[in-house]
């Protein structure tokens, strides 16, 4: 007996020790973003918040589950860190004030006075109970997960300066499916991941150190996420080997205390490729048998396994079509294997032919999901959920809502949103996506002429479905701050908040995240919130406005400008630009008929030019460049103007951030500033490339004659060159006259310009190309006087001069007078020939902080 | 010819490149203290200071010396970093506004309108010149060093928000000798250094990487220091080998562009020990010949070598006394060798017998310097300077001025101040020394009944001496922030400011340093300035007040409390405490006669109990404990009260610093906070040890009965122990009842206490001993619930339980109620037996920020 008690003591001790070590370490943590929004920053020097002066000193946890233990430890940790107090843990309700944690049921047993609220599964209630002459601060969950979510809600409130009584109330999640997908490959890379290698896999196996996996689960739990798919939807059949299942079970062990259930993506041809069968035909009983055995094996290792995610018949993935079978056949086969264990299938509707005939004016990739899945409505098993991307194409800067949502009345649906910024600047540009997501979730599809917002459909309300919800493609990586750009974590946070409650406003999400991530300083909250809220429209302005999609290089890295890549290939992201007009005619009468997939009211709205919104016009219609929008301005001038506006707005983000100098820790301030400055430079690359391309296409001049008419610009071809020689830019519009100037077969080359500027202070920008490999060095000299040196050591996604690699270095505050000679000296490195485009010399920006006009 | 021009261009280029790289790196630097007070922080977001909007855009440097080039580069760097502008360098005065740098002579040639001011060597003048229709911002030096000092003065002004015209004026240094001594050993250690290994030496040779040496010279130049002695005054004869001279010449190369001349300490027996002579008798011609040849060899390697520093006949060092020679014989021999090259000898007056008979009531170490050197006045060569410590003992917390300063009328004098905190908390306690130094410099010695302040003597004014000045024992190390404690650099800065102008107030120094080091935020400036100004009195209160000297362990590391170590040994730092009274009688009538060394007015002031200041009383007099001070309070009660007051004041420093949370970068904020918290704990160790010792000595109770009567304290002997057993504290008064409790031969031991405190929030302090070696781990548990864990991994100077190692860990905000059991669990490590003393449980401090009383 004594032995047993000792063991218990040690085990308790080690659990608490972990927490204690974390508390001790917290105040010394550099602000590196590792804590995300869970920084638990100490209350300000103005003192413990008045609502916490008489805080109960004890905590009682009525629930013995590991998830409830996480909740209790989290209260101890958060209170210690934010309020500087160490709560005592009591085994039973003390005869004094106390925090009490438990399920509503457990609380009702403990307190006769407690009236349990009505809660959906995973919901929670926060309340102050007066009983036995004491005050009890109650966090009650419908279940252990609900308790954990309630705990994080309270700790967020403390961090944001709320009093405990102000948090009284109940919340329940909008939908049961609140998952993230990670597109992690077994070799440790992440498809469309921009923040380092996988936290799960390395070199074909599960990592030995899974610390980050546990920390990730804690972050996910804090925003109500209850599932995580750990591997790429382009799944390796090796995922299902016994060794891999044992490894993945170790990840699940890290997830479990945080209530996050693990799921896997599977290759539908696994029975054949790794299982040794001669087929993977879903209609073949031995295939079904194989899957049943495999699923049983998974559940033996992971009893709370959540289910399987399937990408099939899509972008080269094998699928049931190979055997003449439908998605229903494949999905239901897997569902049958999962059903005895309570697991689900998330079957992706992202199925389309990527060898479409671009000469066929009726062909339309946007139609694919509806065309394939709508006829199958009502045939999917009860534990199958069709996972539908928000729009009909692929996470573009703007698309309409996918019509398939309204096309499945008797099928469970989940919306797939992309947290990782694949088409959205790849964590180098600031794009706060909840603003965009809200336009989808709040969109009214008018099903059966009744108000029917998208969020009500995925929540299962519209069609009374038992299952449904939200899947976010997150793709965090091993980078200390999870998502590379310090502001990108706002997207993961926002995804969780919307999955829990899609009625939350983007403003609330942005402000809450800012408070938790940076500070409650009103100036910081207002500035960062405004930056976040404006960031998506800004990005749209300088990329692909008017419903053109993002206009990135879709056959390349999906990053820089490459409008032509949309056209003349089988991928079907066509914008059908020609000399007269631009846009995809998707009307029923004259176009692809895509609009006919929508309920009649929505179809009518998009079909009529009178009611079709400008921002989606060219997604729906092909119109002449001279067509006038609702604004009265022509399409072509709007394209030009939007790009100039967007680039200016991007520069404004830098200035807005600079007003926070001194209000944010130097590490995150500087890191963010550098990224915003890069973005402002890249916005100019975007602006110039897209405008050049449309100018060439349309032959219609910008009414302000700005395109390639930059009086401040000196192109390499205008400079005196020593060693530099022209090479073709791989995408002509991404460099001046389609040429970059490279330094080949030399240790160094120079490009010099004689200036003739009026005396004054200037900013000098140098536009160069920074390949992924190589770290060329540049020196800038004014009359032989070196004034700046920098290294092109960014790891942009390209190895050629183009819109992916074009980069701007700006030296501010340089005095010039007539007769000055400016010399740029490039030193190539490792195959990167120090390529350059132009220099741009502008009078010092009067609006920049610290830089009034002389 | 073309070849020559190319070479010049490349050389220019590389020099500028270094500067350019530094500019680029600056804004991204973490605030790690590496830049010291030369951070050149960007102007705030409120914009470029109005005085710099119309700043000249060009800079012309009329002086071609390397020191002038440093000045020019420094302007470029500072303006770039602080004002965001890149000045252009012009070869000659442009037809536009310009900064112009040069010597006064060069400026007078360039501008007929320029009237050169009268400047002492190394002085400078800042002015705005209107000429040829333009404005010229002029920095003129009496010579290149003066130009560099003027440049740093201007850049400091910009950093502190001053306009250029507001800086117009001239300055000249108070004295020609403005040196630092480094006590670096050739093996890379530093005697009395607390910030890592030597920046100069490693493993018996000069370091290969001397980057830090150059950076140090830049910091020194920025405060007007013109000399640096690179090796310990306890000098190795190996310093003079040809290899070492070549190595040291490389250090001099780093110093030279910053106008810092290198000097060496030499062992006077070098001719014998490393030179192979059979004697080092200064009277022997072959010894003098040896030194001449050696000095010639040094100058061949280091043409601007500054001179030699000599510690002889002191603390075991060899000296001329061995041959019946005097310091004059030794110093003049060296001076003769140096004279042809313009070098000087700094001969230290720190000569005393450290085997004094403590039974002899007439013996007095304080007399030694005067007794030895006063008779030699007038005999030293013109290029010899006698280097005299500020007080007659050894850098104690308070001493009177050394009477030798007034005893040498025909001898050059320099004052030796200690920047490194040997007796002042060793860079773990905050002690801002300029406040103390000012009490010396401003002290009026009344020579010949005329006002004659110490500063006027060392400046050479009083006795019209051509040479003299200031030597600071700096001892910076390889630690990134140079001096370990982020606030300790204020002492080096302050030393330079006072050596340049001893009339500068401590308030000005503290405020300027704070602005340059942290920020111009008025709250930061006011708070840090007040902390600095109050820190020396605070340290005196909890160590050795009333002129008792510091009371550290003088036979050990000179750190923690060990009052008995002053007594009964040959070192002569006696305080002569017995059962009746305390203090050294140094009067002429009844004591050692030391006071007779002062000029009559000063001697009379100290001799009379009516006029002797309380703060030096016991340095001058032996008095009964019941003697009443000018305050009316007895000596013994003053000792007790000062120690309680000092410990409280040290805690106040923590609270003051905490009000700056969010106004200082997290890295330096946290590092400083941790040190201030350690200091507050160690101040309690000091208080208790000194008070116990005097209570035992005097037998007179504290009138508030506080000593060893702490109602909140639970000593280890009062706890329930499992494994812990008593061991003797090596210094009895530094642990409760002279005992520490150690965990020996066990993996872990525990000490538990049953508490019976009224319910409420408490702070729990654990007093333990943290040896230099070993990293014991402690866990604190409340009713088996772990509430804190920490590791005793500090590197304090001791390997036993005593006042050097006694350390306090405080866990704040713990709720207690009657019946609680508090358990401390210690895990020994590497010979450190997790030793403990007591726990102290106090109601939560209501005055602490964030911690109002419940």
What ipTM describes this predicted complex?
0.80
> Closest Cα to residue A195, out of A217, A210, A216, A221?
A216
List, for residues A157-186, the tens digit of each pLDDT value. Answer: 999 999 999 999 999 999 999 999 999 999
CA dihedral sign, ordered B371, B372, B377, B382: negative
CB contact under 8 A, B86 and A759: no
What pLDDT sits at residue B728? 97
Per-residue confidence at A27, pLDDT binned at 50, 70, 90?
A: very low
- Contact between B381 and B331 (Cβ < 8 Å): yes
Residues 726-785 of chain B whose Cβ lies under 8 A from any Cβ of chain A: 759-761, 779, 781-785
CB contact under 8 A, A815 and B88: yes
Tell me how many degrees the CA angle B560-B562-B565 measures, rounded to the nearest 5.
130
Average predicted confidence (pLDDT) for chain B: 94
Q: Does the annotation count A422 as an active-site position?
A: yes
Per-residue confidence at A54, pLDDT binned at 50, 70, 90?
A: confident
Write out the DSSP string of B105-162. HHHHHH-TT--PPP--TT-EEEEEEEETTEEEEEEEESSHHHHHHHHHHHHHHHHTT-
Evaluate if residue A818 carries a pLDDT over 60.
yes
Per-residue confidence at A8, pLDDT binned at 50, 70, 90?
A: very low
For range A569-587, the mean pLDDT: 97
For range B761-786, the mean pLDDT: 95
Q: Which chain B residues are Cβ-neighbours of A17 within 8 angstroms?
A: 779, 786, 789
Evaluate if residue B849 carries a pLDDT over 50.
no
The answer to whether B568 contacts chain A (CB < 8 Å) is no
Q: Which of B27, B86, B757 is the best residue to mutate to test the A interface, defined by the most A CB atoms within 10 Å of its own CB?
A: B86
Evaluate if residue A6 carries a pLDDT over 60.
no
What pLDDT sits at residue A511? 98
Average predicted confidence (pLDDT) for chain A: 94
SS (H, E, C) B334-396: HHHHHHHHCCEEEEECCCCCCCCCCCCCCCCHHHHHHHHHHHHCCCCCCCEEEEEECCCCCCC
| Count of other CB atoms within 10 angstroms of residue A831 | 10
CA–CA separation, A714 and A753 (whole Å)? 8
CA distance A803 to chain B (A): 26
Residues 455-484 of chain A whose Cβ lies under 8 A from any Cβ of chain B: none
Whose structure tokens read 């706890």?
Answer: B719
| Residue of B9, B53, B96 with shortest CB distance to A784 | B9
Write out the DSSP string of A395-414. S-SS-PPPTHHHH-SSSEEE
CA–CA separation, B715 and A322 (whole Å)? 80
CA distance A522 to chain B (A): 14
Q: Does the annotation count B733 as an active-site position?
A: no
Q: Which two tokens stand for residue B168?
A: 């117009």
How big is chain A by its Cα radius of gyration, in Å?
29
Angular region, B539: left φ>0, alpha ψ -120 to 50, beta rest: alpha
Per-residue confidence at A3, pLDDT binned at 50, 70, 90?
A: very low
Q: Between chain A and chain B, how many beta carbons pairs sit less than 8 Å apart?
A: 181
Q: Which chain B residues are Cβ-neighbours of A849 within 8 angstroms?
A: 45-47
CB contact under 8 A, B659 and A45: yes
H or E element at residue B211: helix B211-222
What pLDDT sits at residue B22? 36
CA distance A254 to chain B (A): 23
Q: Which chain A residues are Cβ-neighbours of B23 within 8 angstroms?
A: 788
CA distance B764 to chain A (A): 11
**Strands (E) located in B518-650:** 581-582, 623-624
What pLDDT sits at residue B325? 97
For range B761-768, the mean pLDDT: 96
Residue of B nearest to A762 (CA): B85
CB contact under 8 A, A779 and B13: yes
> Closest Cα to residue B800, out of B754, B750, B740?
B740
Q: What is the DSSP letter of B718?
A: G
Alpha carbon of residue B664 to chain centroid: 23
Tell me how many degrees the CA angle A841-A846-A847 measures, rounded to the nearest 5.
115
Which residue in the list B31, B74, B364, B394 is annotated as catalytic?
B394
Q: For residues A371 and B116, which has the higher predicted lDDT (pLDDT)?
A: A371
Q: % helix / strand / coil in chain B, to the nearest 5? A: 35, 20, 45
Percent of chain A's residues with pLDDT above 70: 95
| Residue of A13, A662, A786 with shortest CB distance to B13 | A786
What pLDDT sits at residue B16? 38
CA dihedral sign, ordered A565, A567, A568, A574: positive
Q: Which two tokens stand for residue A466?
A: 């038992």
CB contact under 8 A, A813 and B84: yes
Residues 691-730 of chain B whose Cβ lies under 8 A from any Cβ of chain A: none
> Closest Cα to residue A393, out of A427, A420, A422?
A422
Residue of A nearest to B56 (CA): A815
Q: Which chain B residues are Cβ-neighbours of A96 within 8 angstroms?
A: 759, 817
SS (H, E, C) A715-730: EHHHCEEEEEEEEECC
CB contact under 8 A, B850 and A47: yes
Alpha carbon of residue B559 to chain centroid: 14
Which residue in the list A63, A122, A143, A394 is annotated as catalytic?
A394
For range B321-348, the mean pLDDT: 98
> Closest Cα to residue A351, out of A412, A310, A397?
A310
Q: Which chain B residues are Cβ-neighbours of A665 within 8 angstroms?
A: 665-666
CB contact under 8 A, A851 and B58: no
What pLDDT sits at residue A28? 35
For range B683-695, the mean pLDDT: 98
Residue of A nearest to B518 (CA): A662
CB contact under 8 A, B785 and A53: no
Residues 654-673 of chain A whose Cβ lies under 8 A from any Cβ of chain B: 658-659, 661-662, 665-667, 670
The answer to whether B818 contacts chain A (CB < 8 Å) is no
CA–CA separation, B421 and B559 (whole Å)? 10
> Closest Cα to residue A743, out of A711, A709, A696, A779?
A779
Q: Does the annotation count A394 as an active-site position?
A: yes
Query: What Å distances lie between residue B19 and A180, A788, B71, CA to CA?
Result: 48, 9, 12
Within A339-417, residue ranges assigned H as helices are 368-373, 404-407
Lowest mean pLDDT among A829-843, B42-56, B449-463: B42-56
| Residue/partner pairs of A289-295 with CB below 8 Å, 24 or more apart | A291/A333, A291/A334, A291/A337, A292/A336, A292/A337, A294/A240, A294/A270, A294/A337, A295/A334, A295/A337, A295/A338, A295/A341, A295/A343
Q: Which chain A residues are Cβ-neighbours of B665 within 8 angstroms?
A: 665-666
Q: Which chain B residues are Cβ-neighbours of A788 within 8 angstroms?
A: 20, 23-24, 86
Question: Between A242-255 and A285-301, two packed helices, what is the crossing angle to 10 degrees?
Answer: 40
CB contact under 8 A, A86 and B670: no
List, for residues B613-652, the tens digit of each pLDDT value. Answer: 999 999 999 999 999 999 999 999 999 999 999 999 999 9
CA distance B156 to chain A (A): 19
For range A626-632, the mean pLDDT: 98
The answer to whether A53 contacts chain B (CB < 8 Å) is yes
Lowest mean pLDDT among A2-11, B159-168, B508-517: A2-11
Which residues make beta-bridge pairs with B35? none
H or E element at residue B334: helix B327-338
Alpha carbon of residue B696 to chain centroid: 34
Evaluate if residue B21 carries a pLDDT over 70.
no
Residue of B nearest to A84 (CA): B813
Q: Which two tokens stand for residue B552?
A: 């550290």
> Closest Cα to residue B219, out of B241, B190, B199, B194?
B199
Residues 312-351 of chain A whose Cβ lies under 8 A from any Cβ of chain B: none
Residues 82-101 of chain A whose Cβ lies under 8 A from any Cβ of chain B: 83-89, 96
The answer to whether B8 contacts chain A (CB < 8 Å) is no
Residue of B nearest to A846 (CA): B47
CA–CA separation, B429 and A316 (whole Å)? 68
Which residue in the list B90, B162, B202, B315 is annotated as catalytic?
B315
| Residue of B83, B788, B850 with shortest CB distance to A24 | B788
Q: How do beta strands A720-722 and A749-754 pair? A: antiparallel
CB contact under 8 A, B785 and A667: no
How big is chain B by its Cα radius of gyration, in Å?
29
CA–CA separation, B292 and B308 (whole Å)? 12
SS3 A484: coil
Which residues make beta-bridge pairs with B714? B839
CA distance A691 to chain B (A): 33
Residues 777-816 of chain B whose Cβ lies under 8 A from any Cβ of chain A: 779, 781-790, 811-816
Q: Which chain A residues are Cβ-neighbours of B662 within 8 angstroms?
A: 44-45, 519
Residues 98-137 of chain B whose Cβ lies under 8 A from any Cβ of chain A: none
pTM of this prediction? 0.88
A463 phi/psi in degrees, rounded to 5: -110, 15
For range A360-383, the mean pLDDT: 97
List, for residues B34-55, the tens digit of each pLDDT value. Answer: 999 999 998 865 567 888 988 9
Lowest mean pLDDT among A593-597, A810-814, B479-483, B698-702: A810-814
């Amino acid at each position: 007996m004594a032995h047993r008690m000792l063991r218990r003591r040690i085990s308790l001790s080690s659990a608490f020790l972990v927490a204690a070590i974390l508390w001790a370490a917290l105040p010394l943590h550099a602000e590196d973003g590792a804590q995300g929004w869970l920084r638990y920053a100490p209350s300000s020097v103005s003192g413990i918040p008045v609502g916490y002066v008489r805080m109960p000193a004890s905590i009682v946890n009525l629930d013995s589950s590991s998830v409830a233990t996480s909740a209790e430890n989290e209260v101890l940790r958060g209170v210690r860190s934010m309020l500087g107090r160490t709560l005592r843990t009591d085994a039973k309700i003390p005869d004094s004030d106390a925090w009490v944690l438990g399920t509503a049921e457990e609380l009702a047993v403990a307190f006769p006075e407690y009236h349990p609220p009505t809660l959906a599964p995973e919901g929670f209630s926060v309340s102050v109970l007066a009983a036995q002459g004491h005050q009890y601060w109650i966090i009650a969950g419908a279940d252990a997960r609900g308790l954990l979510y309630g705990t994080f809600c309270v700790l967020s409130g403390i961090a944001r300066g709320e009093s405990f009584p102000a948090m009284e109330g109940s919340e329940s999640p909008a939908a049961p499916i609140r998952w993230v997908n990670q597109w992690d490959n077994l070799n440790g890379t992440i498809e469309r991941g921009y923040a380092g290698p996988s936290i799960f896999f390395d070199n074909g196996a599960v990592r030995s150190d899974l610390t980050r996996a546990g920390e990730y689960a804690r972050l996910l739990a804090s925003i109500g996420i209850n599932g995580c798919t750990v591997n790429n939807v382009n799944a390796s059949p090796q995922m299902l080997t016994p060794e891999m299942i044992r490894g993945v079970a170790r990840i699940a062990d890290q997830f479990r205390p945080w209530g996050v259930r693990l799921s896997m993506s599977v290759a539908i041809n696994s029975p054949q490729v790794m299982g040794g069968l001669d087929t993977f035909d879903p209609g073949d009983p031995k295939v079904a048998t194989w899957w049943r055995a495999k699923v049983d094996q998974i559940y033996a290792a992971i009893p709370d396994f959540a289910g399987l995610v399937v990408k099939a018949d899509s972008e080269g993935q094998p699928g049931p079509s190979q055997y003449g079978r439908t998605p229903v056949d494949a999905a239901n086969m897997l569902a049958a294997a999962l059903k005895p264990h309570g697991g689900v299938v998330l079957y992706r509707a992202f199925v389309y032919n990527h060898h479409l005939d671009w000469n066929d004016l009726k062909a339309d990739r946007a139609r694919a999901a509806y065309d394939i899945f709508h006829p199958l409505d009502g045939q999917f098993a009860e534990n199958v959920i069709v996972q539908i991307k928000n729009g009909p194409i692929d996470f573009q800067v703007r698309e309409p809502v996918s019509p398939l949502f309204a096309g499945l009345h008797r099928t469970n649906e989940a919306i797939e949103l992309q947290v990782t910024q694949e088409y959205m600047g790849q964590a180098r540009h600031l794009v706060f996506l909840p603003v965009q997501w809200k336009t989808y979730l709040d969109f009214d599809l008018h099903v059966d002429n009744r108000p029917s917002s998208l969020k009500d459909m995925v929540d299962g309300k519209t069609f009374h479905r038992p299952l449904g919800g939200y899947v976010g493609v997150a793709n965090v990586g091993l980078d200390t701050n999870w998502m590379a750009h310090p502001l990108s974590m706002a997207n993961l946070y926002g995804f969780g908040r919307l999955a829990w409650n899609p009625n939350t406003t983007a403003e609330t999400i942005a402000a809450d995240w800012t408070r938790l991530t940076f500070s409650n300083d009103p100036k910081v909250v207002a500035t960062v919130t405004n930056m976040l809220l404006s960031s998506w429209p800004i990005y749209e302005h300088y990329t692909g406005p008017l419903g053109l999609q993002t206009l990135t290089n879709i056959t390349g890295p999906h990053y820089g400008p490459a409008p032509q890549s949309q056209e003349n290939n089988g991928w079907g992201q066509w914008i059908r630009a020609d000399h007269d007009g631009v846009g995809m005619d998707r009307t029923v009468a004259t176009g692809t008929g895509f609009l006919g997939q929508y309920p009649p009211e929505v179809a009518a709205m998009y079909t009529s030019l009178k009611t079709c919104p400008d921002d989606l016009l060219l997604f729906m219609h092909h119109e002449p460049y001279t067509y006038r929008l609702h604004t009265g301005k022509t399409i072509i001038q709007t394209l030009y103007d939007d790009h100039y506006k967007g680039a200016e707005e991007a520069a404004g983000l830098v200035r807005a951030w600079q007003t926070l100098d001194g209000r944010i820790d130097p590490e995150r301030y500087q890191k963010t500033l550098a990224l915003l400055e890069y973005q402002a430079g890249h916005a100019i690359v975007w602006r110039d490339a897209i405008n050049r391309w449309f100018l060439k296409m349309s032959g219609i001049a910008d009414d302000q004659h700005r395109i390639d008419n930059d009086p401040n610009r000196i192109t390499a071809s205008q400079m005196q060159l020593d060693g530099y020689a022209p090479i073709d830019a791989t995408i002509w519009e991404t460099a001046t006259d389609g040429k970059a100037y490279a330094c080949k077969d030399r240790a160094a080359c120079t490009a010099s310009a004689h200036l003739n500027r009026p005396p004054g202070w200037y900013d000098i920008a140098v536009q160069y190309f920074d390949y992924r490999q190589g770290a060329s060095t540049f020196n800038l000299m004014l009359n032989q006087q070196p004034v700046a040196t920098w290294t092109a050591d960014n790891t942009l996604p390209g190895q050629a001069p183009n819109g992916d690699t074009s980069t701007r270095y700006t030296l501010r505050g340089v005095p010039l007078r007539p007769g000055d000679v400016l010399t740029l000296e490039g030193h190539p490195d490792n195959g990167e020939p120090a390529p350059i485009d132009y220099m741009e010399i502008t009078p010092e920006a009067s609006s920049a902080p610290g830089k009034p006009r002389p």
